[in-house]
Amino acid sequence: MKETIEESISRTISKTRFEDLSKAAVQAAKRSTLDTISAMVAGSTAAGVETVVKMALKWGGTGEAHIIGFGTSVPVPMAALCNGTMARALEIDDCVDFLPVHPSASAVPALFALSELKKNITGRDFITALCVGQDMKIRMGLTVRRNAMESGRNNMFKIFGPTAAISKAMNFSPEQTRNALGLSFSFAVGDGQCALDGALSLRLQQGIVAQGALLSALLTSECFTGAKEFLMGRYGYLQAYEPDPRLEFLYENFGKYFYGEQITIKPFSACRATHSSIALALGLRPKIKNIREIDRVLVHTCPSVYGLVAKQWEAKPPDSVAGAQFSIQFTVAAALMRGDVFLNELEPEVRENTGLRDLAQRVTVLPTPALVTDSVLGKTTMEILLKNGKSLTGEMEFPPGNPARPVSYKECAEKLSKCSQYCVRNFSAERVEKIIETVDHMEEVADVSTLVSLLGEG
């Protein structure tokens, strides 16, 4: 009998070994791990996180895994929920530029929680599992015909990535892996409206997914059953939600090439769809003697980018951190006025600054079909019109962090140093250096829980 797509995926995940990974994939996994740590550390003080953590602590239970930065332990599902929420809270976790996908924000927190539960996951196990999970999530994104920016379904398939990672880390058989993936379908979430509304639920989704992936694997280990044909069955995910899927992406070079090699590390604390505009503004800024010289700023983007991070802000400026992060108008104004768009630019005194808000109102974003490319970001052009009649122009297709303009491990380390200043508890320079060194030599780590303990201790 011909092997089903679900059987093929599960077999490949189960048989993948560290030796199958390319050097590029291993290095990319290390960068993603350190980058996700940065996102969680800074995210520990982000809006809404304290609420989730307080609930987890109030409910209590066996202290099995650390909440990053808080110096306390909770049951592993709650640790995954809290840490996954932190990882996406500030829009500084990794992504890919050819899809609206965040490959690591749920996989790393889920793997960290599992490592503290099992105490036997090595650095090589962790890297292998993360590469598998990232690859699975990206391949699912390529399989889907209409991406989340077009469909509004916000990647319901994202649950399959971290579940694949956890299944690999638990050394599941193909049958167990298939069951865990089938179970995880019940934890799929895909609310895209929260991004347009600037709601805190956007960051919560990755926590839900991290928790769901972990629960799916733990339930599998107790012989609890999930859907077998979770993709192509009559009511499977692809059949029910994604017509005409490109299944070749789930077959070709699966287990041989890992799409994590193409992951982008984000230099700015904003939706990736704003990064080309931010980079253009920063590049043109030195040519402007005084911000008061600016009359108007015209930004041309592909229509899908316009719909996600510009259209809703045409008539009014964003009134929340999440809204600011999804606004080309705000981020361009912040870049021009302050020379960066990172965590400082999200502080209330900056977001509510009259001068910045006035400049943001003079940023006009125009959807331009001619700028559509194979990348979900498309191309972006900018023209800054000065009051003296002169103008400054620029064009960008690959913003900083893209594999064509990669962020190095050293730059990831510098990002962690910046993010550590926002941790809910003191993160000393010595601790930061130890984390950087440990992740850099992850292959040599005997028990990943030692790294997580270092992150979680107060």
For 381-409, what is each residue's pLDDT tens digit? 999 999 999 999 999 999 999 999 999 99
- CATH number of the domain at 151, please: 1.10.4100.10
Written as one letter, the residue type at 410 is: K
**CB 186: neighbour CB atoms within 10 A?**
14
- CATH number of the domain at 362, please: 3.30.1330.120
Q: What is the pLDDT of residue 111?
A: 98
Q: How confident is the model at residue 458 (pLDDT cuts 50, 70, 90)?
A: low
Are 295 and 186 members of one domain? no
pTM of the model: 0.94
SS3 annotation, the chain:
CCCCHHHHHHHHHHHCCHHHCCHHHHHHHHHHHHHHHHHHHHHCCCCCHHHHHHHHHHHCCCCCEEECCCCEEECHHHHHHHHHHHHHHCCCCCEECCEEECCCCCHHHHHHHHHHHHCCCCHHHHHHHHHHHHHHHHHHHHHCCCCHHHHCCCCHHHHHHHHHHHHHHCCCCHHHHHHHHHHHHHHCCCCCHHHHHCCCHHHHHHHHHHHHHHHHHHHHHCCCCCCCCCCCCCCCHHHHHCCCCCHHHHCCCCCCCCHHHHCECCCCCCCHHHHHHHHHHHHHHHHCCCHHHEEEEEEEECHHHHHHHCHHHCCCCCCCHHHHHCCHHHHHHHHHHHCCCCHHHHCHHHHCCHHHHHHHHCEEEEECHHHCCCCCCCCEEEEEEECCCCEEEEEECCCCCCCCCCCCHHHHHHHHHHHHCCCCCCCCHHHHHHHHHHHHCHHHCCCCHHHHHHHHCC
Average pLDDT over residues 433-457: 96
Are 339 and 417 members of one domain? no
- Domains: count for the chain: 2
- Residues 139, 96: contact at Cβ < 8 Å? no
Residues forming a β-bridge with 385:
296, 391
The answer for 419, left when phi > 0, alpha when psi is -120 to 50, beta otherwise, is: alpha
End residue of a domain, out of 370, 396, 422: 396
- Residues 418, 342: contact at Cβ < 8 Å? yes
Cα diameter, the chain: 74
Average pLDDT over residues 236-263: 96
Structure token pair of residue 443:
């292959």
- Residues 427, 41: contact at Cβ < 8 Å? yes
Q: How confident is the model at residue 366 (pLDDT cuts 50, 70, 90)?
A: very high
Are 219 and 338 members of one domain? no
Are 355 and 415 members of one domain? no
Distance CA 34, CA 9 (A): 28
Are 241 and 354 members of one domain? no
Residues forming a β-bridge with 301:
367
Average pLDDT over residues 62-71: 95
DSSP-derived pairing of the beta strands 380-386 and 391-396: antiparallel
For residue 198, what are the contacts with CB-CB under 8 A and spacing of at least 6?
318, 319, 320, 321, 322, 323, 324, 326
Q: How confident is the model at residue 317 (pLDDT cuts 50, 70, 90)?
A: confident
Are 386 and 412 members of one domain? no
Return the residue matching tokens 């990348």.
375
- Residues 214, 113: contact at Cβ < 8 Å? yes
End residue of a domain, out of 357, 374, 396: 396
Distance CA 65, CA 72 (A): 8
Are 353 and 412 members of one domain? no
**Domain range holding 367?**
272-396
Q: What phi and psi values does residue 396 have, to the nearest 5 degrees?
A: -150, 140
The mean predicted confidence, pLDDT, of the chain is: 96
Are 255 and 294 members of one domain? no
Distance CA 40, CA 311 (A): 30
Distance CA 368, CA 305 (A): 10
**What tens digit of pLDDT does each residue of 89-117 get?**
999 999 999 999 999 999 999 999 999 99
Average pLDDT over residues 150-178: 96
Average pLDDT over residues 205-231: 98
**Cβ-based burial of 290 (10 A; exposed 0-12, middle 13-18, buried ≥19):** exposed
Are 383 and 410 members of one domain? no
End residue of a domain, out of 346, 367, 396: 396
Q: What is the pLDDT of residue 315?
A: 83
Are 40 and 107 members of one domain? yes
DSSP-derived pairing of the beta strands 380-386 and 294-301: antiparallel
Q: How confident is the model at residue 457 (pLDDT cuts 50, 70, 90)?
A: confident
Q: What is the pLDDT of residue 456?
A: 86
Are 294 and 180 members of one domain? no
| Angle formed by the axes of helices 107-118 and 123-143, nearest 10° | 150
Nearest to 218 by CA among 242, 195, 184: 184
Are 308 and 379 members of one domain? yes
Distance CA 372, CA 379 (A): 7
**What tens digit of pLDDT does each residue of 166-206 get?**
999 999 999 999 999 999 999 999 898 988 888 899 999 99
Rounded to 5°, angle at Cα 112 from 106 and 116: 145
Q: Mean pLDDT check: name the lowest of 49-63, 303-317, 430-444.
A: 303-317
**What tens digit of pLDDT does each residue of 118-127 get?**
999 999 999 9
